[in-house]
Structure 1
Amino acid sequence: MTAVGQAAPAFTLQASDNQTLSLSQFYGQNVVLYFYPKDQTPTCTTEACDFRDFHSGFAELNTVVLGISPDSVKSHDKFIAKHELPFPLLADPDHQVAEAYGVWVLKKMYGREYMGIERTTFVIDKEGNIAKVWPKVKVKGHVQEVLQFIKEELQS
């Protein structure tokens, strides 16, 4: 997994609302990059809605929120519309970005093994370096913890 202090792996992906976004577009701003397994699932919906509900707090701290999953742009557009998400979701169907960040991992559920996204959040500072990593995220209270970290550690 990409570690604190390292340069965040660069990427360019198709995003919701017919956009193509690159990490380099956001140099000069903090970026919350959160990887999640699947649109419209209960835990992923809770996480996305928490980021939505605290979006203005991130914006006040010059911080952009980006979500990434293997789902299609079409799926992302429906997810955004249904839950009124004010930030882009990026499609990583071949999981190249997830692999670059070390979050495409072997998972187990009901005795079955498969490859998938390990729910992880990265905070990338204004210079493009990893400032904080939350692996194996538990959603309850997570977004507030991310916001607090940015307030305390990245605001000068």
Structure 2
Amino acid sequence: MALEVGDLIPHFTAKNTAGKDFDSSSCIGKKPVVIYFYPKDDTRICTQQACSFRDQYEDFKALGAEVIGISGDSVRSHQKFSAQYQLPFILLSDSDKNIRNLFGVPTNWLGLIPGRVTYVANKEGVIIMVFNSTSGTIHIKKALEALKNNL
């Protein structure tokens, strides 16, 4: 069942780009968060999306928010992707799809491609926006609007 506006972000753990365990309780319920699920590192639309989050990362930080990108790629893939595009935010490896399933992120294109969904939660961990679109760059605008409208 997919998470919706009004739901609490569930607890999860995953490996970050340093290969260390990331625990969602380190930021969920403490500050606003933007969690975006994307299909694959180093593909055209996913790279556009990540670079758009990078380019506006300071806007998110100014609103007190953390940005977390999640895909099924390996830690090694995330390390390369993050270094190549100088991504300042958290990338998490969800190779077993546990987090994707926990959030209920759908697949696209006849179930062949992992979905692209962005969740914005307030500092209490309550989801204030869910945006599902194959377009990468519009997620950033929608997430910033949601944060600004819920300060």
**TM-score interval (norm. to shorter):** over 0.9
Partner of 1:32: 34
Partner Cα distance (1:104, 1:19) in 2: 27
Q: How does 1:1-156 map to 2 (within 5 A)?
A: 1-26=2-27, 27-105=29-107, 107-108=108-109, 113-153=110-150, 155=151
Deviation per CA, 1:56-98: give whole Å up to 9, x if none: 0000111000000000000000000000000110000010110
Q: Percent identity?
A: 38
SS in 2 for 1:149: helix
Q: 1:107-143, CA deviations, whole angstroms, 9 ceiling, x for partnerless residues?
A: 33xxxx4444210000011111111100124223331
Measure the CA separation in 2 of the matches of 1:30 and 1:81. Answer: 25
CA distance in 2 between partners of 1:2 and 1:15 (Å): 23
Q: Contact 1:12 / 1:23 at 8 angstroms: preserved in 2?
A: yes
2:70–2:93 Cα contact (<8 Å) kept:
yes
Indicate the larger mover: 47-56 or 12-21: 12-21
Using the size of structure 1 for normalisation, the TM-score is: 0.89
Query: Rg bigger for which structure?
Result: 1
CA 1:145–1:104 in 2, change beyond 3 Å: closer, same or farther?
closer
Matched letter for residue 99 of structure 2: V
Instruction: Give the distance between the partners of 2:113 and 2:98, measured in 1 at CA.
Output: 12
SS of 2:70 mapped into structure 1: strand
Gapped runs of 5+ residues in structure 1?
A: none
Residue 15 of structure 1 aligns to which amino acid in structure 2? N
Paired residue secondary structure (2:61): helix
Task: Give the counterpart letter for 1:13 in structure 2.
Answer: A
Alpha-carbon RMSD: 1.4
Q: Any conservation in 2 of the 1:51–1:143 contact (CA below 8 Å)?
A: yes
| d(CA) in 2 for partners of 1:93, 1:116 | 14
Give how far 1:22 is off.
1.6
Q: With the length of structure 2 as denominator, give the TM-score of the two structures.
A: 0.92
Give the gaps of 5 or more residues in structure 2.
Answer: none
Structure with greater proportional strand content: 1
